[in-house]
Amino acid sequence: MKIGFLLDDHMHRPGGVQEYVRGMYRYLLRNGHEAVVFSGGTQFNTPLPERVIQLGISIPAKGSGSTTSLPVVLKSAAALRRLLREEACDVLHVQTPFSPTLSGRLLAVSEAAHVCSFHIRIDDPIRLRLLSWAARLQRPSFRHIHKRMAISQAAEETAQVLFPGRYERVGVGVHISRYAAAAQLPRLAEYNDDRVTIMTVGRLEERKGVAHLLRAYASLERAYGDAIRLVIAGDGPQREQLQALAAQLGLRSVQWLGFVENAALPQVMASADIFCAPATGQESFGYVLVEAMAAGLPIVGFANAGYAEVLAQHPGNFAVPVRDERALAGALSTFIASQPLRRAVSSRNRVGAERHSWTRVGAQVMQVYAEALEIRGSLAARR
C-alpha cells in the first residue's frame, strides 16, 4: 500500500502535526508500505528523512495560538492530477484543518481513498464561532473525505463545530522506546545530585504558560531553597520576557537550556525528577506528556482540555485548574516532598505510556485506511 500525506504547512517546522506525519511515515516503511509527503514549499534546504514533494510557497501565519504557514500553489489542476497519477497513492491522508490552496486542490483531483486526521483544539468560543462561519466555505471539500479521524476528544469537539460528521477517535503515536531507553541511562552529570529537578519543555510562547510556572516556582524556591531547581528547555518569542520575569522574582535556580535537539531530548528529560506542563489552552493532545511518562517522570500540568484528557488516563499525575499558580505550586510540592510517591507514579507512567506507542496507534490508523479503501470501492462500483 502507498500512502500520501497532505500537509498544508512545511516539514521543516517543528510541530505536533509534523511529528504525527513523521511517526506514521516511519511506521508504514517499517511494515513494508510506501509513503510520500505533499507539503507547502519552503526556503529551507536541510535534508529530511522523509520523501517530501514541496508544492508552491508557504506564507507564515498564526494558528491555534502558535505559528504555522499557509501554502500558495499555482500549478494547474491538470498538473496536480498528473502528479497524483504518477505517485499512484492508494490513500491520501490529509491533516485537518486544511487549506483549499493545497490539500483541498489535491483532494479535488485525486482518485485515491481519502482520510483526514483532525488535530487542533480551539478554546476561545468567539474565535471558534468566527472560524465556524469561515469553515462553511470549506465544507464542500469534505465531500471528498471517506473516513475521518480525531486525535482526541478535545480535538473532536472542535472538529464537530467546524466540520460536523462522524469521526473515529484514533490518538497519536509517540516513539516510546527512545524515552524508555533514556530512562535506563545515567543522568546527565549536571543533574546527578540530591536536588529535585523540575523540568518543562516547549516553545516559549504565551499559551505554553511558562510565566505561570515561574511565579509558582517562586513560592517553591522560598520553601525549599537550594533543594530544588527548575530547568526550562525550549526557545521562542517570549524568552527575554520570561527571563526578565525570573530576575524580577529573584529566582536563583532556573536554568534556560534553549532549544534542545530531538536526539538529545530523551536523556535531558530522563535526567529530571518531575515534569511540569503549564500550557493554558489550545492543546488537543500532549505529545510531551507521553514523552515525559515514557521517560519515567511524574507530571503536573494545567487541566486544559487536551492535557486533562491524557492525564485522566494515567492516575497519579496532577492536572490542576488552568492559570491557578497556587494549585500548580501545591501539586509540585507534593512530588518534591515525597520521593516514594515520585517513584510509584514514575513506574506507572512507564507502563502506561505504552498505550501511545506507534505500534499500537499505527495499527489503528491502518484499519481506518482499509475501511476508506472499501468505501471508495463501493462508491466507484455504484457509478
Within 10 A of 43 (CB to CB), how many other CB atoms are there?
8
What mean pLDDT is predicted for residues 149-170? 96
Strand order in the sheet with 168-169: 52-55, 34-40, 2-7, 91-96, 113-118, 147-150, 168-169
Q: Which domain holds residue 238?
A: 176-355
What mean pLDDT is predicted for residues 187-201? 96
Predicted confidence (pLDDT) at residue 187 exceeds the cutoff of 60: yes
Whether 17 and 161 share a structural domain:
yes
Whether 312 and 368 share a structural domain:
no
Tell me the angle at which helices 125-135 and 153-162 cross, rounded to the nearest 10 degrees: 50
pLDDT of residue 155: 97
Whether 166 and 282 share a structural domain:
no
Whether 25 and 49 share a structural domain:
yes
Whether 155 and 187 share a structural domain:
no
Predicted confidence (pLDDT) at residue 69 exceeds the cutoff of 80: no
| Phi/psi of residue 81, nearest 5 degrees | -65, -40
For the domain that residue 201 is a member of, what is the CATH number? Answer: 3.40.50.2000
Q: What total of structural domains would you count in the chain?
A: 2
Whether 151 and 277 share a structural domain:
no
pLDDT of residue 63: 55
Q: Quick one: pLDDT band at residue 136, thresholds 50, 70, 90?
A: confident
As a whole number of angstroms, the distance between CA 153 and CA 175 comes to: 22
Cα 221 → chain centroid: 31
Whether 131 and 274 share a structural domain:
no
As a whole number of angstroms, the distance between CA 211 and CA 97 comes to: 30
As a whole number of angstroms, the distance between CA 120 and CA 131 comes to: 12
Q: Are residues 274 and 196 in contact, defined by beta-carbon separation less than 8 angstroms?
A: yes
Residue type, 139: R
| Phi/psi of residue 2, nearest 5 degrees | -120, 130
Whether 156 and 305 share a structural domain:
no
Whether 77 and 113 share a structural domain:
yes
As a whole number of angstroms, the distance between CA 68 and CA 187 comes to: 35
What mean pLDDT is predicted for residues 38-56? 90
pTM over 0.85: yes
Within 10 A of 340 (CB to CB), how many other CB atoms are there?
7
What mean pLDDT is predicted for residues 187-196? 95
Cell numbers linked to 241: 520576557
Q: Quick one: pLDDT band at residue 62, thresholds 50, 70, 90?
A: low
Whether 263 and 375 share a structural domain:
no
Predicted confidence (pLDDT) at residue 64 exceeds the cutoff of 60: no
Residue 370 burial (CB < 10 Å; 0-12/13-18/19+)? middle
Query: Residues 6 or more apart from 172 whose CB is under 8 A from it?
Result: 16, 19, 20, 23, 151, 285, 287, 356, 361
Whether 260 and 114 share a structural domain:
no
Whether 76 and 202 share a structural domain:
no
Query: What whole-number percentage of the chain has pLDDT above 90?
Result: 84
Query: Residues 6 or more apart from 346 whose CB is under 8 A from it?
Result: 296, 297, 298
